[in-house]
Structure 1
Amino acid sequence: MGPATPATVVRQGRRRANGALESEVLAALQRAGAPLTPREVQATLPGELTYSTVVTILSRLHGKDVLTRTPRGRAYAYAPVADEAGLAARRMHKVLDTLPDREAVLVRFVDGLTAADELLLRQVLSGRVFP
């Protein structure tokens, strides 16, 4: 098999897109519950990701404002800025921020909710449920 392209990395005979690798790295950081250096992240992941690949993924996630980083020795230690629910909420806000008609998007979103999710949303909005 030839060398990996920038968009994919070979892991245990399979090719993984960068999005899948980013998800794996983010999940590893969330499981850790504490900031990790690239070497520590590399050690927690299955397969054979190179150190430079892990650094690249962490740098990209930091550039997307998904991770914070603080100096630790000669490297940075990375941590998620939020849990999975927080990250999903940030993605939803980013989508809303890019569209001119927020009202239409929100109306269509609510129209697509199940009855149970609509009830939960109503409770959250009325202050009866707190995350």
Structure 2
Amino acid sequence: MVRRLGELESTIMDRMWATNAPASVRDVLEHLQRERTIAYTTVMTVMDKLHTKGLLKREPVGRAYVYETVSSKEAYTAEVMRDSLSRSGNRAATLVHFLERLTPEEANALDAALQVYPPKGRRS
């Protein structure tokens, strides 16, 4: 089961995905402090939890860690989607409900994705 992210976890992961570069807790803290008051230990705890969940990898540098994302935001989102689908009682019905709610832009994105990577069994 893919673990959903809480608000602060999402904020930190969005920052990590956006920079796509190694970052220390201090780096992330300084970015977050531009918009909110937050303690170093809070950011450290959340980044440790994201590491435990397998979303961040880390390397020791001196007395601290430097963190990097394990995969892209798109790959994580795809895993969340697959997990939701696998837990539905009726996958076909779930997909129909999903497709019914697509905006025209989302439908175009889905169509473009299927052109790049057709579903198994539909390859020419």
TM-score (normalizing by structure 2): 0.70
| Gap runs ≥5 in structure 1 | 1-17
Mapped to 2, the partners of 1:58 and 1:128 lie a distance apart of 34
Root-mean-square deviation over aligned CA pairs = 2.6
Letter in 1 for 2:114: L
Larger RCO of the pair (alpha carbons < 8 Å, separation 6+): 2
Q: Which structure 1 residue ranges, 4+ long, deviate > 6 Å from structure 2?
A: none
1:62 matches 2:55: no
Identity %: 33
Change (3 A) 1:31 1:119: closer
Shift of 1:116: 4.2
SS in structure 1 of the partner of residue 93 of structure 2: helix
Mapped to 1, the partners of 2:115 and 2:85 lie a distance apart of 22
Mapped to 1, the partners of 2:114 and 2:84 lie a distance apart of 20
Residues 111-120 or 99-108, more deviating: 111-120
Mapped to 2, the partners of 1:103 and 1:67 lie a distance apart of 33
| Gap runs ≥5 in structure 2 | 119-124
Query: How many residue pairs align between the two structures?
Result: 112
SS in structure 2 of the partner of residue 76 of structure 1: strand
SS in structure 1 of the partner of residue 15 of structure 2: helix
Mapped to 1, the partners of 2:110 and 2:18 lie a distance apart of 28
Change (3 A) 1:123 1:34: closer
Post-superposition Cα deviations, 1:91-126, rounded to whole Å, max 9, x if no partner, equal 112212323422221222112223443343233223
Mapped to 1, the partners of 2:31 and 2:69 lie a distance apart of 16
